[in-house]
Structure 1
Amino acid sequence: MNHDYLTVTALNQYIHKKFENDPYLSKVYVTGELSNWRKRPGHQYFVIKDDHSVISAVMWKGSFAKVKFEPEEGMKVLITGRVTSFAKSGQYQIYVESMEPDGIGNLYLAYEQLKKKLYAEGLFDENHKQIIPKYPKRIAVVTSQSGAVIRDIIDAVRKRDPHIQVVLYPAAVQGEGAAQEIAKQIENVNQNGNFDTLIIGRGGGSIEDLWPFNEEIVARTIYDSKIPIISSVGHQTDNTIADLVADQRASTPTQAGVIASPELTDVISNIRNLQNSLENSMRNLIKIDQQRLNHLQQSYVFQDPSRLYESYSQQADLLTDKLLSAFKEQLKQKENKLVLIRSKLAGSSPHNLLIDKQNQLKYLDANLKQNIKAIYSSKKDQLRNKVDALDHLSPLKIMARGYGMVKDSENHIIKKVTDVKIGETITVDLSDGNIEADVSKINQESGK
């Protein structure tokens, strides 16, 4: 059976004509969000998307010059244009003829505000980004337990290095409370402390679905993480705050697994290549050193070693003569200086000054001894007076005159009759001992 096979060019041109001749595609009205927007000096190339689909868009320089507002990433717009294909690549796209704003969603405004805030605080700075380890042993993944993300990451890692352990930390990735779950699981991974890399992510969706990864609590938890983080949120065209704060961004979960893990066969091959390179380098170094050794052995130094130090011996003799001459000159200068100093010293003898200082020292010594005796005598009298005063106040003196000190059973001094009760045992301390007595009667004077 014979078939007429088309070339790729012929097929793309045929599809292009189909688009060009379709009356429904010659004038279309589309609403959606601008994505991958970056203003260029000439023609504009970008993407129009909604919650479920995207389409590439082109706006020629002349048409864009008629736009009266400044388009921005994520802005909802109303566009008019025609849909056709690019024959060279076979990709279909919309050629935009006019564009009008259709308002900006609250979530996007919140996203931009938080983005500007965190940028000003330095959370996106490259100097804070951590390096993703090349040879991890354990990788933590924070994502949904039931989604395809964890399966894609595990498959990618196992294909590259089956020895790496992948541990799931399940968390809701959309809906109320999802941001708090994601942040908590990132903290849990850091608290465990035995992971090399952390991957966070989820599949694609609308800005509402991806919103937990745009919340401040998640951004700051990623920034505070001591473990390097790879963010894989949404599709390649989606950009979240988590992507900007993370140490590295992956366009898909599979790519995240590839970034986080080395190709085992590549590692082994690289080790073997390095081993071969090292062996070759060692052989070359040995060969070069052997050649140098042979050359040195044939040099005049080994053939006639005395020639090596002949010039140095002659130079040493010259330097010795020069040194002796310089030494004699220095010695002569010092002798002259010594004679001059001796003559000056003889004119200003310190003998009289020494005698004066000795007399002054004797006077100060006698004065010091006299002051010490006076202070000692004064302090001795003060001590004697205070001892007499203390002895005069001693309760033992009072007790010697016939007084006693009465205490209760708990050794408290009794001052009033109300301090004791009938039948209680009391102790009376006298000057030569004490007496224990039981209280049988209490007489209290009235009015006292």
Structure 2
Amino acid sequence: MKIKALTVSEVNNYIKKILDNDFILSNLVIKGEISNLKYHSSGHIYFSLKDSVSKINCVMFKGNAYSLDFKLEDGMQIVAKARCSIYQGTGSLQLYIDSMQKEGLGELHIKFEALKKKLENEGYFDSLNKKPIPRFPNRIGVVTSENGAVIRDIINVTQRRNSLVDIVLYPAVVQGEGAYKTIIEGIKYFNKEKNVDTIIIGRGGGSLEELWNFNEELLAKEIFKSKLPIISAVGHEVDYTISDFVSDFRAATPSQAAEVAVPLESDIRNFIEDSLDKINNITLSEIGYQKEKLSNIKRILNLNSPEVLISNSFLEIDRTHEKMKEIISNRIDREKLRIKSLNDLLEAHNPLNVLKKGYTIVEDNEGKVISSKEDIKENDEIQIMFKDGKVKAKITNNM
């Protein structure tokens, strides 16, 4: 009897079909510790999953690896969705990973991401809604456990930075079922009393379960609704909660929260001194400007004052008077010259001037000049005008 032999490829292919058609092996949820981790340049991730007894090789292809929201590390405990099959080229059994998450974060992590996405879409994380942290507070309200390290750290940092700032504690429960309700009460209390400038909410580090109260939707909405600015200081630097995203400022630690909320006394003094210098400079500048403005106004008023106008009018009158005097004087001088000229002309033609040379003028009794002897008869009375007067005469003989 002849036995048919199978090739290696046929055996591997047969095993692969059996594994691929097995419902359980095709829909595995497996947990274990990562080891032999290698991020390939192609984008694929190769590693092994192990427990205290066994180990199995795994591969996560680039397309699935892209959706990971955390970085894998050797020793990390994870829960993965996968299918079991073999690589035909070598016949090695391995898991093909579709998705994974850190162990213990499964449902909570999914819930966290869902709430984060919802609140982000509703604008709860929008930077435009963030309130500024007051620069110079008088009181800081703290909502946390009265016995935890958080309040001690905040007090220590505050006293070191500025002893004038008071800390008001609202004791709250920060862990356990329903603890977030006491945090909400603290926020409402400070908003009602309005006795603080800034609120710090927080607690120390812990697992996701321990920090979960700061991921509650009701707390997130209360933080968003607060009229007072809120600083979230939850867990360690690597821990993020919904409260961190919705608050006005996220501090990596409670100590950093105090540093953000409380200014240094030296910074306040420097600010005051700088402000005084600016005020003095602005004041002196404004005084100088107003003085110059007043001087200009005074100069304009002086130029346009009634006194100046009257003085200018007097000056104008004086100038006009002097000009009129000059005109009149010139006119008089001209008239004098004209009169002198006329007088000289008259003198030149004055018949009396002839008398000075010994000539006389003969007139009848009526004062008419007799220019011919034919105009007189014997016994006529005549007047003879000499240079120094007149005499009367009677004609006795008319030759």
TM-score normalized by the length of structure 2: 0.51
Question: Alpha carbons of 1:194 and 1:237: their partners in 2 closer, same or farther (altered >3 Å)?
Answer: same
SS of match in other structure, 2:270: helix
Q: CA deviation at 1:240?
A: 0.7
Q: CA deviation at 1:117?
A: 2.0
| 1:214-267 superposed Cα distances (whole Å, 9 cap, x missing partner) | 112221222232322110112222211111111211111111112212222211
Q: CA deviation at 1:150?
A: 0.8
Query: Is contact 2:68-2:99 (8 Å) kept?
Result: no
- Listed as ranges, the matches of 1:128-143 within 5 Å are 128-143=129-144
Question: Alpha carbons of 1:79 and 1:276: their partners in 2 closer, same or farther (altered >3 Å)?
Answer: same
- Number of the residue aligned with 1:68: 63
- Number of the residue aligned with 2:100: 102
- Number of the residue aligned with 2:6: none
Q: State the distance in 1 between where 2:146 and 2:140 align.
A: 16
Superposition RMSD on alpha carbons, in Å? Answer: 3.8
- Number of the residue aligned with 1:238: 239
- Number of the residue aligned with 1:188: 189
- Listed as ranges, the matches of 1:376-387 within 5 Å are none
| 1:290-332 superposed Cα distances (whole Å, 9 cap, x missing partner) | 556667777897399659x99xxxxxxxxxxxxxxxxxxxxxx
Question: Alpha carbons of 1:194 and 1:299: their partners in 2 closer, same or farther (altered >3 Å)?
Answer: closer
- Number of the residue aligned with 2:161: 160
Q: State the distance in 1 between where 2:258 and 2:245 align.
A: 19
| 1:161-187 superposed Cα distances (whole Å, 9 cap, x missing partner) | 212211222222222232223223323
Query: Is contact 1:76-1:101 (8 Å) kept?
Result: no
* Greater Cα radius of gyration, structure 1 or 2: 2
Query: Is contact 2:187-2:223 (8 Å) kept?
Result: yes
Query: Is contact 1:202-1:232 (8 Å) kept?
Result: yes
Tell whether 2:270 aligns with 1:269: yes
TM-score normalized by the length of structure 1: 0.46
| 1:370-390 superposed Cα distances (whole Å, 9 cap, x missing partner) | xxxxxxxxxxxxxxxxxxxxx
- Number of the residue aligned with 1:250: 251
What code does the residue aligned with 2:100 have? D
- Number of the residue aligned with 1:199: 200
Query: Is contact 1:190-1:227 (8 Å) kept?
Result: yes
Question: Alpha carbons of 1:136 and 1:60: their partners in 2 closer, same or farther (altered >3 Å)?
Answer: farther
Query: Is contact 2:44-2:65 (8 Å) kept?
Result: no
Q: State the distance in 1 between where 2:40 and 2:130 align.
A: 38
Question: Alpha carbons of 1:60 and 1:299: their partners in 2 closer, same or farther (altered >3 Å)?
Answer: farther
- Number of the residue aligned with 1:16: none
- Number of the residue aligned with 2:228: 227
Q: State the distance in 2 between where 1:296 and 1:60 align.
A: 83
What code does the residue aligned with 2:139 have? R
Question: Alpha carbons of 1:168 and 1:60: their partners in 2 closer, same or farther (altered >3 Å)?
Answer: farther
- Listed as ranges, the matches of 1:354-373 within 5 Å are none
SS of match in other structure, 1:168: strand
Query: Is contact 1:136-1:261 (8 Å) kept?
Result: yes
What code does the residue aligned with 1:102 have? M
Q: State the distance in 2 between where 1:120 and 1:79 align.
A: 35
What code does the residue aligned with 1:249 have? R
- Number of the residue aligned with 1:177: 178
Query: Is contact 1:77-1:102 (8 Å) kept?
Result: no
> What is the aligned-residue identity percentage?
39
What code does the residue aligned with 2:140 have? I
Query: Is contact 2:215-2:243 (8 Å) kept?
Result: yes
Question: Alpha carbons of 1:211 and 1:73: their partners in 2 closer, same or farther (altered >3 Å)?
Answer: farther
Q: State the distance in 1 between where 2:123 and 2:291 align.
A: 58
